[in-house]
Amino acid sequence: MSKIVKLSQENWSDLLTGMAKDYHIYAPIQYSNQQDYELLNEYNIKDIVYNHPKPATPLKTFLLPIKQNLVKDNRFKPSVILGIPACDLSAVNILSEIYLDKDFKDSAYEHRLENYIFIGSDCYSMQEHCHCTSYGFKPYPTENADIVLSRLDSTVFLQSLTPKGDKLIGLIESKVALVKALEEEINQINDKRERITHQLIEKNKDIPDYTKTGELIKQAKEEIWKRYADTCVSCGACATICPTCTCFLLIDRPGFEKVRQLDACQLPAFAHVAAGEDPLHELHVRFKNRYMCKYVWKPEKFDSVACTGCGRCIEACIGKINKNELFVELNRED
């Protein structure tokens, strides 16, 4: 474990103001009823929300933009993303398993992953549909962050987890004095983390775990899929907003250029073939497909968990479909 260092909130904000002139830094900014990543400038730094659950946009959007030309050179300047929740950082595992697959490495994805510095942050509260602990995740970053940011009152704590993080902390240190965190402060942070972890576990105690969910889904009868899919309008929002859903379509541009555009199995004709067959033609089959993919097939194929329990798909659904109600119901019947 590398050491935890601290600085005052005021110094931290000044530092960001200075750095935002030279670097692209994104951080969650509060709007009326939600928070989302914004590029920092000297005016919005005061509106950054710290240690709050997930921003509206998942982290995947930075690594796999909704639309990206994969053949044209699209280098970009190293950038910092600040305030990433643990669930979104853990989602990077499955993205990297797919996009950095040794047989076909996606160099556009790799380039972005290498050039972002991720500053993760602890969640000290939860939102209605947060359920990361149900699938074995913690509400504070344990992986894929270069630096972890925690806060106590008006003090900011930073802990580097990677060489990239060390480098950034070195740079910060050249601009402002950093002090080693006290043992009792670290204990206080840990207490906060423990408290929120227990609250999440307690709130979600009826939700089956990841493996059990897979078993339940596999056995679930057609009737329940039809019932839950009844209000689905195939908008694809659940997949688009999901930090681990990464299906796409390649679009052609003159010069043999290929544009990767985010796609979703929930959209009609995703699996349609020219001869006319479409295994996902029926709405309830398509609806079920997304869950089979996340909880049954991905686990058979990959090591990483394919749902981080962020709850975004529930919030985004205009059909008001709550996958956790479905899983709890399946669990009850089991």
Asked if 299 contacts 214 with a C-beta cutoff of 8 angstroms, the reply is yes
Q: Residue count at the site for another protein (CB under 8 A)? A: 45
Out of 135, 137, 270, 287, the only residue in the binding site for another protein (CB under 8 A) is 270
Question: What are 189's two structure tokens?
Answer: 């942070």
105 binds, among ligand FAD, another protein, ligand SF4, none (CB under 5 to 8 A by kind): another protein
Show the DSSP H helices in the chain as ranges.
9-22, 60-63, 86-99, 107-115, 163-173, 183-203, 210-219, 222-229, 237-241, 283-292, 298-301, 312-316, 323-333
Question: What are 162's two structure tokens?
Answer: 């990677």
Q: Which residues pair with 29 in a beta bridge?
A: 36, 48
**Contact footprint for ligand SF4 (CB under 6 A):** 232-238, 241-244, 266, 294, 307-313, 316-319, 321
**Does the footprint of ligand FAD cover residue 1 (CB under 6 A)?**
no
Taking the alpha carbons at both ends of the chain, their separation in whole angstroms is 43
Out of 274, 303, 320, 332, the only residue in the binding site for another protein (CB under 8 A) is 274
Phi, psi of 39 (to 5 degrees): -70, 130
Rounded distance, CA 289 to CA 238, Å?
12
Out of 223, 252, 303, 332, the only residue in the binding site for another protein (CB under 8 A) is 252
Q: Which residues pair with 253 in a beta bridge?
A: 257
**Does the footprint of ligand FAD cover residue 252 (CB under 6 A)?**
no
Amino acid code (one letter) for 205: K
65 binds, among another protein, ligand SF4, ligand FAD, none (CB under 5 to 8 A by kind): none
**Does the footprint of ligand FAD cover residue 274 (CB under 6 A)?**
yes
Asked if 48 contacts 12 with a C-beta cutoff of 8 angstroms, the reply is no
We find the least distance from the C-beta atom of residue 71 to ligand FAD, in angstroms, to be 17
We find the least distance from the C-beta atom of residue 233 to another protein, in angstroms, to be 21
Nearer to another protein, 50 or 248 (CB): 248
We find the least distance from the C-beta atom of residue 292 to ligand SF4, in angstroms, to be 12
**Does the footprint of another protein cover residue 104 (CB under 8 A)?**
yes
Compute the residue count for the chain. Answer: 334
We find the least distance from the C-beta atom of residue 274 to another protein, in angstroms, to be 4
Residues of the chain by 3-state class (helix, strand, coil), percent to 5 = 40, 20, 40
70 binds, among another protein, ligand SF4, ligand FAD, none (CB under 5 to 8 A by kind): another protein
Asked if 195 contacts 202 with a C-beta cutoff of 8 angstroms, the reply is no
**Does the footprint of another protein cover residue 103 (CB under 8 A)?**
yes
**Does the footprint of ligand FAD cover residue 273 (CB under 6 A)?**
yes
Whose tokens are 């074995």? That residue is 136
Rounded distance, CA 54 to CA 126, Å?
9
**Where does residue 334 rank: exposed (0-12), middle (13-18), buried (19+ CB within 10 A)?**
exposed
We find the least distance from the C-beta atom of residue 322 to ligand SF4, in angstroms, to be 10
Residues within the interface to another protein (CB under 8 A): 70-71, 73-75, 98-99, 101, 103-108, 110-111, 246-250, 252-256, 258, 260, 263, 265, 270-275, 277-279, 292-293, 296-297, 300-301
